[in-house]
Chain A
Amino acid sequence: EIVLTQSPATLSLSPGERATLSCRASQSVSSYLAWYQQKPGQAPRLLIYDASNRATGIPARFSGSGSGTDFTLTISSLEPEDFAVYYCQQRSNWPLMYTFGQGTKLEIK
């Protein structure tokens, strides 16, 4: 089973700053990694798939990078609405599992 480890657990930044969130897989997942945003009281929303492709309607300030075991979600200039929890996710085929990281909480400093 592939384990996803996100860091840091909490990131405190101010609007306008750059945010860098990390997701590390316990073994290679190639580029099969997705990122989600979850705001309080809301369902998760897909941001990025295949490590670097923005989902429909996602602003260009969100970008993803990485392959293999190390991935990064970058928010170039934080807007007030970006403060939320972010999860990475991948799928393994044997056994079939969809695994989420434990999340990074991005909070206002």
Chain B
Amino acid sequence: DIQMTQSPSVMSASVGDRVTITCRASQGISNYLAWFQQKPGKVPKRLIYAASSLQSGVPSRFSGSGSGTEFTLTISSLQPEDFATYFCLQHNSYPLTFGGGTKVEIK
């Protein structure tokens, strides 16, 4: 199985900050990487798929990059509604595997 290591697990940031979250795959997954946002008590929402394709309706301050084993989710200017937990997902092969999550908290 492919292991997804996400970092950091928790981060504190302020509104307007540039935020970067990293996901590392235990083996190459090409660009088969998606990012999800989840707020407390809510359903996960897909932000990015194919490593860098922005989901329709998602603000352009979210971007994804990477290929192979190293991937990044960037929020260019953090907004109040962005405080949430973010998960990466590899969909290169089954079983699909998620990263452990990054909780973005208010500094």
Task: Answer whether A and B are interacting partners.
Answer: no
Name A's B-contacting residues (CB within 8 A): none
Name B's A-contacting residues (CB within 8 A): none
